[in-house]
Structure 1
Amino acid sequence: MDSCSCAGCKSDIASNEFISCHGCKLKYDLMCANLSPKRFRKMTREAKTQWKCSECKSKQPKTGNIDTPIRSASHSMIDDKGKSERPSEDSNVTVRRNRSVDSHLTQEKFKEILKKELMTEIEVMFEKTLSRMVSNQLKDINSRFVELQESMTYISGQYEDLKKHLDSTKSDMQCLKDENNCLKDELNHLTTRVKTLEDNNMKQQQWARLQNIEICGIPEDKDENTLTVVQKISKHIGVPIEPSEVEFAHRVQPRRATSTVRARPIVARLKHRFIKDKIMAAARKHRNLNASDVGIGCITSKIFINEHLTKENKILLSQCKQKVKELNFKFIWTKNCRIFVRKNEASPPISISSTADIAKIV
Structure 2
Amino acid sequence: MVNCGSCGQEARDCVQCSSCSRHFDYQCSGITEAGYRKLGIERQAAWRCPSCKSGGSAVSPRIISGESGLLPKPVTLDQVMQELRNIKRTVDSVSNIVAGIESIKSDVSELKTSMGQFTLKFQGLEERIHVIEQAQAEVLKLSDRILTMESDLNDKNQWMRLNNVEIKGVPMKDRENLFEIINKIGNKIQYPITKQNINFLARVPSRDGLADRAKPIIVSFLSRYVKDDFVASARSFKKLIAADIDLPGTSPIFINDHLTVENKILLKKTKKLKEEKNFDFVWVKNCKIFARKNPGSKIITIKSEKDLLKMQSEKGWRCGYSSSPSIYIFV
Report whether the alignment pairs 1:270 with 2:199. Answer: no
Aligned 8 A contact 1:236 1:294 in 2: yes
**In the alignment, what sits opposite 2:52?**
11
- Residue 260, structure 1, aligned to residue 288, structure 2: no
Q: CA deviation at 1:237?
A: 1.2
Distance 1:332-1:9 versus aligned 2 partners, 3 A rule? closer
2:121 maps to 169
Equivalent residues, number: 224
Offset of 1:355 from its aligned partner? 0.9
* 1:359 partnered with 2:309: yes
Query: Distance between the aligned counterparts of 1:278 and 1:170, measured in 2?
Result: 71
Distance in structure 1 (CA, Å) of the matches to 2:294 and 2:141: 41
Residue identity (%): 33
**Structure 1 residues 40-55: aligned runs within 5 Å:** none
Q: Does 1:304 align with 2:254?
A: yes
Q: Distance in 2 between matches of 1:359 and 1:34?
A: 74
Matches of 1:244 and 1:32 in 2, distance apart?
108
Task: Tell me, yes or no, if structure 1 residue 338 matches structure 2 residue 291.
Answer: no
Could you tell me which residue of structure 1 aligns to residue 277 of structure 2? 327
Q: Which residue of 2 aligns with 1:93?
A: none
Task: Show structure 1 runs of 5+ residues with no match.
Answer: 1-7, 15-25, 41-158
Equivalence for 1:153: none
Give the drift of 1:162: 4.7
Number of the residue aligned with 1:32: 60
Question: Quick one: which amino acid aligns to residue 266 of structure 1?
Answer: I
User: In the alignment, which residue of structure 1 is the partner of 2:243?
Assistant: 292
Displacement of 1:228: 2.0
2:158 partner amino acid: Q
Instruction: Report the CA distance between 1:190 and its aligned residue.
Output: 0.9
Give the TM-score normalised by structure 2: 0.61
In the alignment, the residues of structure 1 paired with residue 121 and residue 66 of structure 2 have an alpha-carbon distance, to the nearest angstrom, of: 28
Tell me if the contact between 1:287 and 1:304 (Cα under 8 Å) persists in the aligned partners: no
1:240 is aligned to 2:192: yes
Change (3 A) 1:333 1:33: same
Superposed counterparts of 1:23-102, under 5 Å: 32-37=60-65
Cα distance in 1 between the residues matched to 2:66 and 2:163: 90
Q: Distance in 2 between matches of 1:291 and 1:275?
A: 23
Counterpart residue identity of residue 201, structure 2: A
CA distance in 2, matches of 1:235, 1:39: 102
Q: Hey, what's the Cα distance between the residues in 2 that align with 1:35 and 1:294?
A: 102
**What is the match of residue 224 of structure 1?**
176
Q: What CA distance in whole angstroms lies between the structure 2 residues aligned with 1:193 and 1:174?
A: 29
Out of 319-328 and 191-200, give the one that drifted further: 319-328
Query: Of residues 125, 131, 137 in structure 2, which corresponds to 1:179?
Result: 131
Equivalent in 190, 203, 208 of residue 251 of structure 1: 203
How far residue 327 of structure 1 moved from its aligned partner, in angstroms, is 2.4
Alpha-carbon offset, residue 10 of structure 1:
4.1
Residue 146 of structure 1 is matched in structure 2 by none
Instruction: After superposition, give the CA deviation of every residue in 1:42-74 in whole Å (9 maximum; x if it has no partner).
Output: xxxxxxxxxxxxxxxxxxxxxxxxxxxxxxxxx
Aligned-partner residue type, residue 52 of structure 2: S
* Structure 2 CA distance for aligned equivalents of residues 288 and 183 of structure 1: 56
SS in 1 for 2:240: coil
Counterpart contact for 2:291–2:301, Cα < 8 Å: yes
2:222 and 2:142 map into 1 onto residues whose CA distance is 39
Q: Where does residue 265 of structure 2 map in the other structure?
A: 315
Which one of the candidate residues 180, 184, 192 is aligned to 2:144? 192
Q: Distance in 2 between matches of 1:344 and 1:297?
A: 39
What is the Cα-based RMSD across aligned positions, in Å?
Answer: 3.0
AA paired with 2:262? E
Give the residue type in structure 2 aligned to 1:212.
N
With over 3 angstroms needed to count, the CA separation of the structure-2 counterparts of 1:39 and 1:232, relative to structure 1, is closer
- Residue 13 (structure 1) shift: 4.4
Kindly provide the amino acid, as one letter, of the partner of residue 133 in structure 2: N
Task: Give the whole-Å Cα distance in 2 for the aligned partners of 1:348 and 1:230.
Answer: 36
Distance (Å, rounded) in 1 between the aligned partners of 2:196 and 2:251: 28
Q: Which 5+ residue runs of structure 2 have no aligned equivalent? A: 1-48, 69-111, 315-331
Deviates more, 1:323-332 or 1:268-277: 323-332
Query: 1 CA distance for matches of 2:171 and 2:66?
Result: 96
Q: Using the alignment, how far apart are the partners of 2:63 and 2:298 within structure 1?
A: 92
Shift of 1:187: 0.5
182 and 39 in structure 1: CA distance in 2 versus 1, 3 angstrom threshold: closer
Q: Secondary structure at the match of 1:11?
A: helix
Alignment partner, residue 20 of structure 2:
none
SS of 2:252's partner is: coil
Say if 1:234 and 1:241, in contact at 8 Å, map to a contact too.
yes
Question: Relative to 1, partners in 2 of residues 1:171 and 1:38: Cα closer, same or farther, differing over 3 Å?
Answer: closer
Give, in angstroms, the shift of residue 359 of structure 1: 1.6
